Amino acid sequence: MTVSALNDYSVAVPVSDGDDFGAMLAYHLNGAPMSVRDKGPLWLVYPYDRGRDYRSETILTRSVWQLDRIEVLP
């Protein structure tokens, strides 16, 4: 899939990241909807505290904030 931010930054992310790496879409911060100022409306995040593999350049590149489009490719 391709995920894109409000500033048109986009990156390819394997759908399997949801299973293999625990990637998730965040839409709330401390119980409140995320504003654009707080990296919302959506943020693709990973469990960075699970280890060094989750802080690699590849994973950090896929951690898109201010996400507004997801295109699932065949």
Candidates 41, 8, 40, 42; CA nearest to 23 is 42
Is pTM beyond 0.75 here? yes
Please tell me the predicted confidence (pLDDT) of residue 73: 80
Residue identified by tokens 């100022």 is 37
Question: Residue 55 corresponds to which tokens in the numbers above?
Answer: 């802080």
Does pLDDT of 53 surpass 90? no
Handedness of CA 15, 19, 21, 22 (dihedral sign): positive
pLDDT bin (cut points 50, 70, 90) of residue 74 is confident
Does pLDDT of 4 surpass 90? yes
Q: What is the mean pLDDT of residues 5-9?
A: 97
Q: What is the mean pLDDT of residues 33-62?
A: 94
Contacts 24+ apart (CB under 8 A), 25-29: 25/67
